[in-house]
Amino acid sequence: MRETIRCAIIGLGRIASSLEDDKLREKPASHAGAISANPETILIAACDKNPQARENFARRWGLSEEAVFESAEQMLQQKKPDILHITTHEDAHLSYLKLAVREGIPVVVVEKPLSDHLGLARRMSRKLKKTVVVVNHERRYSRDYRQVKEHISQKTYGELLSVSGRLYMGRTNPVKAILLHDGTHMLDIIPYLTGSPLTDLKIRSTEKDNKTLYTSARSGTVSVSCEFGNSRDHLVFELELSFSEGRIRVGNAVYEEWESRESTFYEKMRSLYPVKTKPIAKTAYFSGMMEDAVRVFRNPEYRPVSSYQDGLDSLILVQKLRRRC
């Protein structure tokens, strides 16, 4: 088995590369950035149908003209990467995954959502014999969410009773698009944290003009409610977890823990008070994904933290809601 793991990317846009140049984002913030930052991996090739995208990517990541391709098939046949990253629009994910399977690529990282076509995604799952897929549901790799999962399993604040999620994406994004592109994260991270699949998923109500969608579900014994909406000038992605003896809030730029103590406000009662926690300076959400893909390549028997089945489970829930809203 080779020492340096050879990686290639199909689709050279935002999540593949340009997010790395956002001065405010935690790094790495892209697939190319994650490959570059990992001491065990090297970027050997890239592919995009857009010539300008190929030129920009090659310049940004120091690839030669011979290392960038218009044809994915040609790239895979010539370069034979160990890990392939598929970062195109979701409607092309499965066609490139099918090509990777045919060419015998051992590990494929697919951006979320897995696909925009549930039937094709289900059929593809039966074709994955020797190729292992990692789906980039990045919050599974993020240290803040992993810390929450540990608190749940250790019962730091008692039993987890309920989870409430809020996802707001801009002023005018259609709710169906919000569900597909970012709702997939929410519908994935909740069962990851609780350890139980989401069941009994229902739409409780929708606001006029379909601006907000309210849902309910169960995750084992845990009650789950989520709100997906637009009409805001800002992004919100957060979960509030209510425990028998405390509360945790986690999300984009949010991490809070609260514990139950004897109340200073009311006699013979208890209230919640903030817990001083050590700041998580770096969540390692992208580097964690890359480390997981490397581990899969080194040990084919290992099941990734975010597998094809996990991506499929999330897509099933997303499409169930999209059909009804």
Stretch 186-211: mean pLDDT, rounded?
A: 90
- Name the residue type at position 205: S
Q: What is the pLDDT of residue 325?
A: 79
277 and 154 part of one domain: yes
126 and 197 part of one domain: no
Tokens of 324: 């009804």
pLDDT one-digit tens code per residue, 250-307 = 999 999 999 999 999 999 999 999 999 998 989 999 999 999 999 999 998 999 999 9
Please indicate, yes or no, if residue 315 is contained in any of the structural domains: no
300 and 200 part of one domain: no
159 vs 152: CA distance, rounded Å: 7
Cis previous bond, 174, omega within 30: no
276 and 289 part of one domain: no
In CATH, what number is assigned to the domain containing residue 63? 3.40.50.720
Q: What is the pLDDT of residue 207?
A: 63
Stretch 229-237: mean pLDDT, rounded?
A: 95
In CATH, what number is assigned to the domain containing residue 206? 3.30.360.10
Asked if residue 1 has pLDDT above 60, the reply is no
Please indicate, yes or no, if residue 313 is contained in any of the structural domains: no
Please indicate, yes or no, if residue 234 is contained in any of the structural domains: yes
Average pLDDT, the chain: 97
Q: Are 87 and 16 in contact (CB under 8 A)?
A: yes
Please indicate, yes or no, if residue 149 is contained in any of the structural domains: yes
200 and 124 part of one domain: no
180 and 197 part of one domain: yes
Q: 2 falls in which pLDDT band (50, 70, 90)?
A: low
123 and 168 part of one domain: no
111 and 148 part of one domain: no
Stretch 8-12: mean pLDDT, rounded?
A: 99
Please indicate, yes or no, if residue 318 is contained in any of the structural domains: no
Q: What is the pLDDT of residue 273?
A: 99
Q: 206 falls in which pLDDT band (50, 70, 90)?
A: confident
Q: What is the pLDDT of residue 190?
A: 99
pLDDT one-digit tens code per residue, 133-189 = 999 999 999 999 999 999 999 999 999 999 999 999 999 999 999 999 999 999 999
58 and 77 part of one domain: yes
60 and 109 part of one domain: yes
Q: 200 falls in which pLDDT band (50, 70, 90)?
A: very high
38 and 55 part of one domain: yes
Structural domain that includes position 241: 143-281
Angle 23-61-104 (CA atoms, 0-180°, nearest 5)? 120
Q: How many domains does the chain have?
A: 2
